Structure 1
């Protein structure tokens, strides 16, 4: 293997321990274990510590040279004071002394600077050792970066994680025949044809994550993965596209079961999925959004209509307000039984929320993770949730509300839920920790018990964390 340093065999200490003794006098039994088991034990150690075991005895001198997992992290706390040169030479030495055994997991975290060819030599060495899991995090580039060609045709690779804040130059030959997990972070794609080729030659891929990536000047990208089960996209950064319109990303996944999106809708995501879609999680931020973002969010939600379990950030509701005409044309989620709202506090009398709740006719479980309140301008409780969402009249059985503190507005929210959901079986109220004393708790319980309920079978359950005992408490009213 080509390297830029002189490779030497590990130096032996002058005073060597007896092969059947160690500091505690216990290595006789450990030393009798088969080498396969000893290598397995060493695989749980950081690579630097595993190499250090060569000083234990003559038998241990080169055991580390065939450990299945290699972890090279220049940023770890133990290496903060180590010079970069020492780290680079250490990686060279370990890979040069290594025998021909298979590498199961290879982790590399370092600065590239002027050593791109050296870094690629290490990655190529891992590929030659039939690596199965590869985790690469590289920083401090100069211009484009090209990973070694052999990586993109590696037949043994099952998991690949790339974190590279640079423009990635892709090869013309790409075929990950056995890759099941692919995570790409902070990469900028520059070639439309090769980018599409990357996301089409993945016959075994089941999980794909694209976090913080930029589509650059690309206008349209197609991601077609036949066996994809899980897809996660995060793009909160404004794209550095010259046309300023972002990219249209078409995602074809006949077997997609779970989809996550978090971002500001600078790009348009079009999903072509089947009724196998079980779960979707959509998050955004209401600030810095536009009418265009609202239209793209509406299109995304329309494509997700077959989903069974939906998680929305409350900011999704607020973004849709930027294009009010969309609220009256929302898709119907006939398969959704579970809806979760999280993120920033939300007002129950928000018109956008009412329009969205109308779209879940078969909703059975509603979970609100953050505060749900009434706006300061709200005066008449009777006009809230009017017209009544269909699920309140038939299917809604369970509601959970967090951050309850006994405030009058929050009490009104509970009152509305109990009064209007006629099939309700349980309302779970999570008490906010405000240092409540017993008197306040008893008062809150009394207020809730006195509320009228449309469903005679409905239970009110209070939950809170007792910090004095560090236990979760629960009572049924």
Structure 2
């Protein structure tokens, strides 16, 4: 019998048809999810992408407007006027929505000479007036000069009240003179590639004005003024990463975690008071052994100027992690260290990237500890 006029799917056709049915079923299942779950899913997208999902279904037409996060990221081809209009439309549609997190990223405005600060100000004012708990602002790049551009909170005056719990700023001027008691709820602060600016000739001490601050990260921060004080009565975690050269004082009686990652030599610490420390990490980046040998008479001299005071400040830590560059430096003076008193009183564990640690170095680090069975962990 002839099969003309009858169409039969082959194996590949049946497989493709089955895949299309599965995709359609998955789409139907996704659409049928409750709005709170859909809103949560959309919160993982940037706001522009979330808004574009409205074309998928009428049911999705406005769900993106109720997502608990606003992520405003300017695309490389997006004109300033279009981005400004988009930001205004998004924030206007969220005036009565409980938004927990706001992210603002615009790395284009500076090198394109588009210095309209109104978008930045609208985003920040929205976050400060709508009980936003987490704010992330990234407004620059390595090739830009941030000094005379965005200033926070100086552009808004002294902030009287804010419910922010987490604040991350990139490429801004952080006006310490304007940091008042308006950040009573802040628990986490990250400043990256920012300038610290305060009253001329005065030391900078902004962090003591955050009574609930428990986590502080300073990355490539440059001071415009005197020494910087990091004082936090509730501070539990402190990270200093690639800091610009300046004098710093640390007073954190409850600090549990301390990380120092510095180029060539540790930070010039005027004081380091962290009596409750449990874990410390020290790393050197861009280390040039030849530069050290040419600038110092002996390695012992370099040790005294760079690590001796730091180790004394970390004397109460229970756990110490050292990177390969630090180990390389200490290895060169291990005989000298073996004759020195160890500053560490509670050290229980050492985390290093090598299993061939000189005995003199091991002895120096642990001989002052009250721990009866110290141990080494290999950091691969």
What's the TM-score bracket when you normalise by the shorter of the two chains? 0.7 to 0.9
Cα offset for 1:336?
A: 1.3
Cα offset for 1:230?
A: 0.7
Q: 2:92 aligns with which of 87, 93, 96?
A: 96
3-state DSSP class of the match of 2:208? coil
Moved more, 41-50 or 252-261: 41-50
- The question of 1:178 aligning with 2:178 is answered no
Cα offset for 1:83?
A: 4.2
> Do the aligned partners of 2:319 and 2:347 also contact (CA within 8 Å) in 1?
yes
- What's the Cα RMSD here? 3.4
Cα offset for 1:158?
A: 0.8
Distance 1:209 1:51 in 2: 33
> Do the aligned partners of 1:294 and 1:322 also contact (CA within 8 Å) in 2?
no
Q: Which residue does 1:444 correspond to in 2?
A: none
Change in Cα spacing, 1:53 to 1:301, as seen in structure 2 (3 Å) is: same
3-state DSSP class of the match of 1:310? strand
Cα offset for 1:199?
A: 0.7
Distance 1:52 1:231 in 2: 40
Q: 2:312 aligns with which of 297, 302, 310?
A: 302
Distance 1:192 1:327 in 2: 46
Change in Cα spacing, 1:32 to 1:115, as seen in structure 2 (3 Å) is: same
Q: Which residue does 2:129 correspond to in 1?
A: 128
Cα offset for 1:35?
A: 4.2
Q: Which residue does 1:159 correspond to in 2?
A: 166
- Provide the aligned length of Structure 1 versus Structure 2: 331
Distance 1:28 1:265 in 2: 58
> Do the aligned partners of 1:231 and 1:259 also contact (CA within 8 Å) in 2?
yes
Q: Which has the higher contact order (CA 8 A, sep 6+)?
A: 2
- The question of 1:312 aligning with 2:317 is answered no
Distance 2:177 2:92 in 1: 27
Moved more, 32-41 or 300-309: 32-41
3-state DSSP class of the match of 1:39? helix
Cα offset for 1:187?
A: 1.2
Q: Which residue does 2:175 correspond to in 1?
A: 169
3-state DSSP class of the match of 2:345? coil
Change in Cα spacing, 1:26 to 1:295, as seen in structure 2 (3 Å) is: closer
Distance 2:103 2:195 in 1: 22
- The question of 1:202 aligning with 2:242 is answered no
Change in Cα spacing, 1:150 to 1:66, as seen in structure 2 (3 Å) is: farther
Q: Which residue does 2:241 correspond to in 1?
A: 234
Distance 1:338 1:199 in 2: 31
Change in Cα spacing, 1:293 to 1:118, as seen in structure 2 (3 Å) is: farther
Q: Map of 1:432-451 to 2, 5 A cutoff?
A: none
CA offsets, 1:52-85, max 9 Å, x none? 23345555433333321011223xxxx4444454
> Do the aligned partners of 1:160 and 1:182 also contact (CA within 8 Å) in 2?
yes
Structure 2 length as normaliser, TM-score? 0.74
Q: Which residue does 2:222 correspond to in 1?
A: 214
Greater C-alpha radius of gyration: 1
Q: Which residue does 2:64 correspond to in 1?
A: 64
Q: Which residue does 1:47 correspond to in 2?
A: 47
Cα offset for 1:93?
A: 2.1
Distance 2:242 2:271 in 1: 15
Q: Would you tell me which structure has more helix in proportion to its own residues?
A: 2
Distance 2:333 2:81 in 1: 54
